[in-house]
Copies of this chain bind each other. A is one copy, B any other.
């Protein structure tokens, strides 16, 4: 319960209460250490002691700045989540249904995975909890909602054939993309996304949404 109180204090002003700077440096040092360690080993193998010794502080000092190890990675993830939202929105608002445009959108996603691989892998993991889980659901939800809207729009315009409910198809495409990108960057999360993968994803997403097989209805208009 004492833990609760302390966490609430932290929540109140997103980490520390206020104040100019002295401890800001330490907070930054913790975040920097976390980011660095993440390139070497997965989240579950990073201990509070790693962060503590990396930042040159003691254990309780760490807990003064962050409520838990997870909270550090949540803080790290915040700006990345925003970037994902931007990609999602730009995909929705981009013009036509051309292959090039789809390819470009996927490249935007891939760039995020290249830049923040380890972090994105963490948040997509099945056993995420707390704020990490919320963040994931928000990210995936926004991506899926925009994909769904896109599919509906293109179906209404006769660009895409009917098929599964747009929401199901959209959610599936999002899962496919995020999973494929996470796989591509390897266990450490630092490999580059191979260009061939982008081509394959473009074809698969393109065919799934716009493609026809003999048993699909013919194009409208």
Contacts and interface: CB of A to CB of B under 8 A. Distances in A.
Interface of A: 42, 44, 99, 121, 125-127, 163-165, 168-169, 172, 175-176, 179-180, 182-183, 187, 196-197, 199-201, 203-204, 206-208, 210-213, 215-216
A212 B215 contact: no
Given A121-B126, A172-B176, A179-B179, A207 B196 contact: no
A168 B196 contact: yes
Those 7 A-B pairs whose CB atoms lie nearest each other, nearest first: A211-B211, A164-B200, A207-B211, A168-B200, A207-B207, A204-B208, A211-B213
A169 B199 CA distance: 10
Contacts of A204: 164, 169, 172, 208
A29 to B, nearest CB: 27
Interface centre among A179, A180, A216 (most CB of B within 10 A): A179
A197 B165 CA distance: 10
Contact of A213 (B172, B176, B206): B206
A81 B208 CA distance: 29
B164 A203 contact: yes
